[in-house]
Structure 1
Amino acid sequence: MADEMVELAQRFINSYDVAGIPQVEVNGRTSWKVMHALTRALQYELGITELSDSFGPTTLSALRSRFGACVDGSTRHGNVYRIAQSGLYCKGYDGGGIDASYNDRVVDSVIGIKSDMGVGGAFPGGGLEPKVFKALLTMDPYVRVGDGTEAVRGIQRWLNGRYVGRREFFVCPCDGHFSRDVQKALVFALQYEIGMGDDTANGRFGPGTQDGVRSQALLEAGSADGARQFVRLFQAAMRFNGWDVAFDGRYSQALAHTVAEFQRFARLLPAHGGGDFRTWASLLVSTGDPTRPGTACDGITEITEKRAQALRAAGYTTVGRYLTNAAVPNARNKKIQPGELATITAGGLSVFPIYQTNGGDREYFNPHQGARDALAALEAARGHGFLPGTTLYFAVDYDAVDEEVTSLVIPHFRALAARMHAYGSEYRIGVYAPRNTCSRLARAGLTTASFVSDMSTGYSGNLGFPLPGNWAFDQITTLTVGTGAGYIEIDKNIASGRDPGQNRFAPRGPDTLLDVDFDRARQNDLTTDLIRYIEDNGHGSIGRLRGPHECATKVVDMDGLITGLARSLRMRKALIQAAVFWEYQADRTDPGVELLVATYFTWREQHEAWERHPVGDPPVPPLVIREDSSTGVAQIFARTAIEARNHCVAAGVVPGAPLDLDDWHVRRDVWTRLRNDDDHNVSTVPLVHLHSAARVGVTTDRLRYSDADIIAVLARYNGTGAEAQNYGRRALDLHRVFEKYNAAQRS
């Protein structure tokens, strides 16, 4: 929502005609661009010649040198006042106008924001100290935001109030959320309590800080009062990682109990409930203590018999290996090798599969690629023989910031999950990624397990984010194991026990009979053949909603999905193409019938609501009742779709539970999705074919149907009787047109 005072602030920025101070869009919305422009304006007013977005040491030093301890009513610098007023408005506080004055409203707002920051005690009064001015010109919030908690916000304010006087400590957000800056503030606080000076403390959990924790901050129930601040910081770390503990400086039995829960969750065993070094480390840095033992590993190197022996002797029981090689020039041969899985299991190890062809940059992630990954991973996993229920870990091997998780990664995985479901995948979907990406995908219901790339401690997606609740493997360091022929470099992982890996396999041999993607260079030829067939056989467009050219284009546009369905269900894609092409023509009467069905379902919903709260007369039913109709790209009835899916579930072709055909809510939901979701509609076509084949007794290998088989299956798509048989013979003709092109590409 636009704010007129933010608009005034933006107009003030744009009044500068100074190289290095960019013009900003006047839209009334606060952004980093606006805050950076205000920072540059302040630097200009302070006489700094090299302007930058960073409010760094030079800006702080110049501010102190020019105006002393704080900017206040005695500063008497109009544009500096305007910058402060603009910052206040952008932060949501009253700036007292943007009138170049440090009036009472400004003073009240400065007192208010310092209170919100928790620094009112350290910086009393209504002046803007340099560190407060720096905080003012950021996008950091100082009030609770979204699902942030007051408990976390209280700790953030406490950190600011206690440590803001230290040279390198700057005001951290007070929004109730754990974040990168809050994590850094916590480590600074720990360093100060250890006794580090301002020239040493750096906010990083390095060797000096680790030594300090080992020598001064080891805690247990009943720790002495002298350790109170260490207990507070330990409690803060627990809170930031999502564990509900008091923040009172007392290491109580209740705290010890919760710490033991955390230790079990993070596999810091034995879970004794004390604040030992490994627990501190796991709370403060994504790798935790990288020297702790791990029982899982992953790597790009083939596991030979000697290497398997070396890994087992070093305590490893589970190894992650790649399903495929990367789709890049000169890719390393990192995929599972022939016979390797048998060697691994003979060596007493289990395997978890990783899918990564690239995934190392943001450009890789989009719905189209997600759909392609689904088929490639599914076929690779089946080819290697991974059994149903195996989790496949799809890699997001870069530091995706939160906005990119929203706009790129989640749509990628949503498409991946939809295609895996459409293909009847027997596998679970996991992810290899930084913590935030793992947690976001789990919350979106797109993954069941996480392989966490915690070794990348500097990733923004790891800093300030707790270990995901569904973590299966936690990658913490790279090392080598074994010597001679047993030598191998691996990434050591902690295993949660959620995924024991696989040690039984049923590999499938290569199948050269399956269809491949359509060659779009042949699209015009295919379309010409289809139009010729329609015209030569008197199936013109009279009474049809769409002509053959549009229908041919639709089939080709959906070729990726159709090919995947045909490959995963081992049937000729022409069987699907023929049905989709013919049915997409649709009758001109179909929209009217669909409207009747939609009206019927609306009436059922209204009547059900009236039955719950019977006020007034019940809704009047439609004059014409239609409970179902063919709908969508391939003109499928809800009843047909439900019966087909239930048959395929019972046959083990697709996972899931059967749907209740007698429940009108189920029929409504299925019909609505068939009508509105083209991918779902077309994905239902092969399930109808499988059900039809069972009904008419066609049991031949689906890749080797005879003409009679094809007629029988496609006829049943239309129903029974003479007209259905005519439909089947016509569909066979279309099947032959498509097969002409499909077969040429298979060979």
Structure 2
Amino acid sequence: MADEMVLRAQQFVNDTYGSVIGMTVEENGQTGWNTMYALTRALQYELGISGLSNNFGPTTLSVLRSKYPSINASTALSEGLCRIIQSGLYCKGYDGGGIDGVFSSRVESSLAQLKADMGVDQAYPGSDLTPKVFKGLLNMDAYVTVNGGSGTVRSVQQWLNGRFVDRQDFYIIPCDGHHSRDVAKSMLFAVQYSLGMADGVANGVFGPGTRSGLREHTVSTGSTGVWVQLFSAGMVLNQRPVSFTSSFSSALAAAVSDFQAFVKLPVTGSGDFSTWASLLVSYGDQERDGEACDGVTKITPARAQTLKAAGIRYVGRYLTNPSTTSLPEKAIQPGELQTIADNGLRCFPIYQTYGRDADGFTYPSGRAAGQAAVNAALDHGFKRSTRIFFAVDFDALDHQVTDNVLPYFKGIEDAMASNGNVYEVGVYGPRNVCTRVGEAGHATASFVSDMSSGFSGNFGYPLPANWAYDQIVTRTIGSGTGAINIDVNIASGRDTGQASFDPPASQTPDVLFNTAYWPGLLADVQNYMESIGFAESDGRIYTTTECLETIIAGDVAVTNTARAYGMRKALIQTTAFWEFRHYGNEDLGKDAGVWLYHNGYVPDWAKDLPKIESFRDSSTGVAQMFGFAGILSWNNSIRRGLVTGTPKDTTRDADIFSVWDKLRTDNDFALTSVGHAHIWAADGKPGGDEEDPMDRLPALDYTDSEIYEVLRRYQGPAEPAFTDARKRMPLYHIFEKYNRMMR
């Protein structure tokens, strides 16, 4: 809802400063960061700062302190500076007077209220505007509870502001009743200041000095004073049901015992160092030993004995490795699970592709990940009900969790359902990711990446209620052949992995399609296509069922091609189905145009189409392949010695038309050509429309990244090839699901 006075503030900053501060703001009557940035730049302009910026940083604060250490009604202010203050007050929800350049009693009253809301009214009594309060005025922090904020959390925030605002590197934090990154960092500063660290030494980092100091400040029943206040503040911010207090009562001790039990610390009821650490930083006390670990190194018998000697019971290992060159032992190696079982250890599986930014997380990529993980877990021999932890290995902001991560996990959930929920879903990631995915019902347990303490999704968030593993430190243990580098994890007992495994699948070639699997394949493909907007019949020439029937009708050609060149049938099936499912009247018209170009008339099968234009070539047939691409694909395989024959010339119309017409009319030839096109794509498509580096030829053990790249190259070097390849990945894994059951 628009606010009339915020609108006037926006109009003021645009009219007065828009031509000199390098920006203007939308005049919509709604407070936002751009409005605060513009007011900050206007302030810098009034202070005579030449390099204007959105950041109210050290330079702005230093110049403000020098020129206006305390602003009140008697301060000689420019009209513009006073109006900036008035505008900031309105943007914060306070009365700013008339935005008329008058430092009136209304402005004074609002500034006094602002400081009281911040908790700094004792440190800065009266209505004077001090530099740090000014800094707090020109940001988007709230100083009253918002969105269901906790009054107890707000009392902690106000206390921190009031007690430490005069310290050099402590800035006023929000008092909105919500824990956050800024609040968490302010707690570390507060601890350091209370330890006696000087300004410039205290840095808000949980370093050696802070750790050493906290070891000397255990608090327990009967303790009083600032250290109890700090400790109870930590409990409040971690959402424990306690009061913010300066007296360590028996009730607080009971709550501490509950917290210690929850995070798997020794239950003492006292605020010892390990408990302090768990309250202040996500990884807690990194000297703890955990019962679980994960790593990218093969578990050999010697390494298994090292793990057992270190008290490890549960080992996290990766189902796949998207790379063919880095971390060669990242994925579970042949015989490794048996070694784990033989040595009395248990294994929990992790699925991770690259996934280092939000763009990789969508519903289709979740469907692909879910099906790929099921296929891989079955291949390795993981038994029913095993929980697979799907990784979100980046600092996902809250809006990215909403827009990207949750749809991704919905895709995983749907993929699991299509497989009869043979496996459970877990989530690996920062605290906020794990909490929100769990609360959405997409995962039953969390593997928390707490080592990444600086992640915004960890800083200021409590440990998720459904945590199973808590990753706290990287450590090398053992020696000689038993040495192994691991991430140490605390285990809650919510997940215990598996101690025995089915025999692993072998990398054998695909076989002919068994029609007994047709109903399941059709249902899975229909469900997936509908989930991305393709109804069974959507106005295109062929329905989903008709397209899939066509692909399966050519199964002999598909199987023979895949076996002849050592590739998975799913590479051919996915490409052909996707292309054919997109075949529409526009494509039919272009086909008629190609016929017209090469034959001089419109064929009978196209006479009822709208006006036909002449084309030399078009993507045609079940594979939607150009004659040009077909020639280059087969020429490439002739050059490689994979087939015999005479290369054709893409500059000769007769050669283009002969291959094009065969692609259009002979489905077996078209499907076989898809296989050769994938080989050509892996070779970098010499002579084609892009210059890609050569890749490994399609193989039975192709990684996800190789599968994606070959599927993408089939479509071309520009969008929508990249987006469509991500959508085709789930189809690949659906075809592979059934192909692997028939092998």
Q: Which residue, out of 415, 427, 432, partners 1:436?
A: 432
Q: Which residue of 2 aligns with 1:176?
A: 177
Mapped partners of 1:436, 1:56: distance in 2: 28
The 1:503–1:454 alpha-carbon spacing in structure 2 relative to 1, beyond 3 Å, is: same
The 1:73–1:317 alpha-carbon spacing in structure 2 relative to 1, beyond 3 Å, is: same
Q: Which residue of 2 aligns with 1:493?
A: 489
Mapped partners of 1:8, 1:140: distance in 2: 21
Alignment of 1:311-350 (within 5 A): 311-326=307-322, 332-350=328-346
Q: Which residue of 2 aligns with 1:502?
A: 498
How far off is 1:246 after superposition? 2.0
Q: Which residue of 2 aligns with 1:24?
A: 25
Q: Which residue of 1 aligns with 2:218?
A: 218
Q: Which residue of 2 aligns with 1:47?
A: 48
Mapped partners of 1:515, 1:397: distance in 2: 39
Mapped partners of 1:554, 1:479: distance in 2: 56
Alignment of 1:72-83 (within 5 A): 72-83=73-84
Mapped partners of 1:108, 1:11: distance in 2: 24
Q: Which residue of 2 aligns with 1:399?
A: 395
The 1:325–1:102 alpha-carbon spacing in structure 2 relative to 1, beyond 3 Å, is: same
How far off is 1:106 after superposition? 1.7
Tell me the secondary structure at the aligned position of residue 279 of structure 1: helix
Alignment of 1:460-479 (within 5 A): 460-479=456-475
Structure 1 position 256 matched with structure 2 position 253: yes
How far off is 1:287 after superposition? 0.9
The 1:268–1:545 alpha-carbon spacing in structure 2 relative to 1, beyond 3 Å, is: closer
How far off is 1:4 after superposition? 2.6
Q: Which residue, out of 543, 555, 559, partners 1:551?
A: 543
The 1:301–1:546 alpha-carbon spacing in structure 2 relative to 1, beyond 3 Å, is: closer
Structure 1 position 302 matched with structure 2 position 283: no
Check whether the contact 1:73–1:103 (CA below 8 A) recurs between aligned residues. no
The 1:554–1:291 alpha-carbon spacing in structure 2 relative to 1, beyond 3 Å, is: farther
The 1:143–1:341 alpha-carbon spacing in structure 2 relative to 1, beyond 3 Å, is: same
Mapped partners of 2:237, 2:350: distance in 1: 30
Q: Which residue, out of 448, 456, 479, partners 1:483?
A: 479
Structure 1 position 6 matched with structure 2 position 6: yes
Mapped partners of 1:407, 1:97: distance in 2: 41
Larger deviation: 499-508 or 41-50? 499-508
Alignment of 1:657-668 (within 5 A): none
How far off is 1:321 after superposition? 0.1
Q: Which residue, out of 385, 390, 395, partners 1:389?
A: 385
Check whether the contact 2:303–2:484 (CA below 8 A) recurs between aligned residues. yes
How far off is 1:21 after superposition? 3.2
Q: Which residue of 2 aligns with 1:99?
A: 100
How far off is 1:54 after superposition? 1.7
The 1:515–1:333 alpha-carbon spacing in structure 2 relative to 1, beyond 3 Å, is: farther
How far off is 1:547 after superposition? 6.2
Unaligned stretches of 5+ in structure 2? 514-535, 556-569, 582-734
Mapped partners of 1:392, 1:329: distance in 2: 24
Larger deviation: 447-456 or 325-334? 325-334
Check whether the contact 1:64–1:70 (CA below 8 A) recurs between aligned residues. no
Mapped partners of 1:21, 1:78: distance in 2: 21
The 1:552–1:191 alpha-carbon spacing in structure 2 relative to 1, beyond 3 Å, is: closer
Q: Which residue of 2 aligns with 1:237?
A: 234
Structure 1 position 64 matched with structure 2 position 68: no
Q: Which amino acid in 2 is paired with 1:549?
A: I
Q: Which residue of 1 aligns with 2:243?
A: 246
Q: Which residue of 2 aligns with 1:189?
A: 190
Mapped partners of 2:539, 2:21: distance in 1: 59
How far off is 1:450 after superposition? 0.7
Check whether the contact 2:349–2:388 (CA below 8 A) recurs between aligned residues. yes
How far off is 1:317 after superposition? 1.0
Whose RCO is larger (CA < 8 A, sep 6+)? 2
How far off is 1:452 after superposition? 0.6
How far off is 1:556 after superposition? 7.2
> Per-residue displacement from partner, 1:476-508 (whole Å, max 9, x unpaired)?
111111111111111111111111121111245
Check whether the contact 1:72–1:126 (CA below 8 A) recurs between aligned residues. no
How far off is 1:262 after superposition? 0.4
Q: Which amino acid in 2 is paired with 1:218?
A: T
Mapped partners of 2:199, 2:542: distance in 1: 71
Q: Which residue of 2 aligns with 1:706?
A: none
> Per-residue displacement from partner, 1:333-374 (whole Å, max 9, x unpaired)?
410011100001111211111000111122211111111111
Q: Which residue of 1 aligns with 2:135?
A: 134
Q: Normalization by structure 2: what TM-score?
A: 0.69
The 1:21–1:101 alpha-carbon spacing in structure 2 relative to 1, beyond 3 Å, is: farther
How far off is 1:276 after superposition? 0.4
Check whether the contact 1:21–1:41 (CA below 8 A) recurs between aligned residues. no
Larger deviation: 122-131 or 92-101? 92-101
Larger deviation: 185-194 or 132-141? 185-194
How far off is 1:143 after superposition? 0.9
The 1:19–1:74 alpha-carbon spacing in structure 2 relative to 1, beyond 3 Å, is: closer
Unaligned stretches of 5+ in structure 1? 517-543, 564-569, 582-738
Q: Which residue of 2 aligns with 1:628?
A: none
How far off is 1:327 after superposition? 5.2
Mapped partners of 2:52, 2:416: distance in 1: 51
> Per-residue displacement from partner, 1:157-205 (whole Å, max 9, x unpaired)?
1111121122221111111111111111111111122112213222222
The 1:151–1:164 alpha-carbon spacing in structure 2 relative to 1, beyond 3 Å, is: same
How far off is 1:509 after superposition? 2.1
Q: Which amino acid in 1 is paired with 2:4?
A: E
The 1:555–1:285 alpha-carbon spacing in structure 2 relative to 1, beyond 3 Å, is: farther
How far off is 1:147 after superposition? 2.6
> Per-residue displacement from partner, 1:600-631 (whole Å, max 9, x unpaired)?
xxxxxxxxxxxxxxxxxxxxxxxxxxxxxxxx
Mapped partners of 1:338, 1:405: distance in 2: 35
Alignment of 1:272-291 (within 5 A): 272-291=268-287
Tell me the secondary structure at the aligned position of residue 84 of structure 2: helix
The 1:88–1:382 alpha-carbon spacing in structure 2 relative to 1, beyond 3 Å, is: same
> Per-residue displacement from partner, 1:257-313 (whole Å, max 9, x unpaired)?
1101100100112x0111100000010011101011111110001101111011111
Check whether the contact 2:144–2:175 (CA below 8 A) recurs between aligned residues. yes
Q: Aligned Cα RMSD in Å? A: 2.9
Check whether the contact 2:537–2:544 (CA below 8 A) recurs between aligned residues. no
The 1:515–1:376 alpha-carbon spacing in structure 2 relative to 1, beyond 3 Å, is: farther
How far off is 1:10 after superposition? 2.0
Alignment of 1:555-634 (within 5 A): none
Check whether the contact 1:382–1:507 (CA below 8 A) recurs between aligned residues. no
Mapped partners of 1:7, 1:30: distance in 2: 9
Q: Which amino acid in 2 is paired with 1:93?
A: Y
Mapped partners of 1:550, 1:63: distance in 2: 70
Q: Which amino acid in 1 is paired with 2:246?
A: G
Mapped partners of 2:284, 2:7: distance in 1: 46
Tell me the secondary structure at the aligned position of residue 549 of structure 1: coil
Check whether the contact 2:291–2:311 (CA below 8 A) recurs between aligned residues. yes
Alignment of 1:137-156 (within 5 A): 137-156=138-157
Check whether the contact 1:326–1:332 (CA below 8 A) recurs between aligned residues. no
The 1:249–1:76 alpha-carbon spacing in structure 2 relative to 1, beyond 3 Å, is: same
Q: What is the identity percentage for the equivalent residue pairs of Structure 1 and Structure 2?
A: 51
Tell me the secondary structure at the aligned position of residue 495 of structure 2: coil
Check whether the contact 1:295–1:315 (CA below 8 A) recurs between aligned residues. yes
Tell me the secondary structure at the aligned position of residue 404 of structure 1: helix
How far off is 1:548 after superposition? 6.8
Mapped partners of 2:72, 2:406: distance in 1: 45
